[in-house]
Amino acid sequence: MKAIYTAILMCACYYSGFAQSSNTFIADFLSENTQYFEDARLKEDGSLEIKAKETFANIESGKKSAILELSLKKWDGEIIFIRSDYSEHNIWGYKTELWTKNKHTGLVSLIGNWDLNSADVSKFQPKQLETIRKHPWFFYVGGQANFNDDDFSLFLNARIGAFLYKDWWDVALSGSYSGNARGENTMTVSELGVMTKIYWSIKKYNLSPYIGGGLSWGYTFSSDADNENEEGYTREMLLLGTSWYVGPGSWDFGLQISKDFNVTVGYTFLF
């Protein structure tokens, strides 16, 4: 029993010393490399994970290896992960480089790198999705082409609404108007309604496809040389399309499917 207690005590002292040594190494490493790194940690598998500043991320690999060889002389591990992200999320891991250190020579080599967020996406979509989370209100304006068996007409339409949950579920009030005049024949169509959509974000391509539904209450007025007609109606619709994040909002391309077929194109402005 005494031997067991002794072994436990020795293990505790070893791990305590190891933890203290690791903490000392991290503190020394960061204090000596404030120009290039802002955080670091030793993982349970023995690898070293470093969060790099932009001053390190933007230099060429030859200079990076020289910096690492000098700053990691006192470290006896082999695997190094260097992570960085400057897309305004402040999240580790969008951009990652995998390096390895030769224990015998001390030389450091780059094995590979990957980027979970393309340059275009980091420029547009993350910024817009962050805006949605802080200010969920939006305004949409666009055009709509209506196709049916008898006629073809163009509408001006608009929506104002808000994202109810993060950046993937919204609800909006909608309105549209069309006016046609051909000689003595005139016809106007106006609609008011509600719409809701669910989005799926594809960061790689800066897109958010969506599916949704809507209900509109419409009013038509037509006249010719002899008659005037008024008619009210309701219209249920299935919404399909995609949003493409560019600038201060997104271009929206969609379909409204009901008794007739509508193609919509417009722009959504985020407040």
Distance CA 112, CA 120 (A): 21
Neighbours of 19 (CB within 10 A): 11
9, HSE (Cβ side, Cα atoms, 13 Å): 6
Tell me, letter by letter, the H, E, C secondary structure of 38-87: EEEEECCCCCEEEEECHHHHCCCHHHHHHHHHHHCCCCCCCEEEEEECCC
| pLDDT at site 209 | 94
Please state the φ and ψ torsions of residue 250, each to the nearest 5 degrees. Answer: -150, 145
| Residue whose tokens read 């993937």 | 168
| pLDDT at site 153 | 76
| pLDDT at site 12 | 40
**pLDDT mean over 30-51:** 87
pLDDT tens-digit map of 240-257: 999 998 877 889 999 999
pLDDT tens-digit map of 180-210: 766 667 888 899 999 999 998 887 778 899 9
**pLDDT mean over 61-89:** 81
pLDDT tens-digit map of 94-128: 678 888 888 888 899 888 777 655 444 344 455 55
Q: Is the pTM of this model over 0.85?
A: no
**pLDDT mean over 67-79:** 87
Please name the helix (run of DSSP H) or strand (run of DSSP E) that holds residue 132, with its range, or none.
Answer: helix 125-134
The DSSP code for 205 is G
Between residues 143 and 5, the one the model is more confident about: 143
Tell me which range, 15-24, 155-164, 198-207, is most confidently predicted by mean pLDDT: 155-164
With a cut of 70, say whether residue 6 has pLDDT above it.
no
Between residues 262 and 129, the one the model is more confident about: 262
Report whether 41 contacts 22 (CB < 8 A).
Answer: no
| pLDDT at site 87 | 45
| pLDDT at site 122 | 41
With a cut of 90, say whether residue 214 has pLDDT above it.
yes
User: What is the assigned CATH class of domain 125-270?
Assistant: mainly beta
pLDDT tens-digit map of 125-154: 555 555 555 668 899 999 988 776 566 678
| pLDDT at site 249 | 83
Report whether 136 contacts 116 (CB < 8 A).
Answer: no
| pLDDT at site 20 | 47
| pLDDT at site 116 | 55
The structural domains of the chain, with segments of one domain joined by +, span 2-116, 125-270
**pLDDT mean over 16-20:** 44
Give me the chain's average pLDDT, please.
Answer: 78
Q: Is the dihedral of CA 13, 14, 15, 21 positive or negative?
A: positive
| pLDDT at site 253 | 95
What percent of the chain is modeled with pLDDT above 70?
A: 76
Distance CA 128, CA 141 (A): 18
pLDDT tens-digit map of 225-238: 678 888 889 999 99
| pLDDT at site 171 | 92
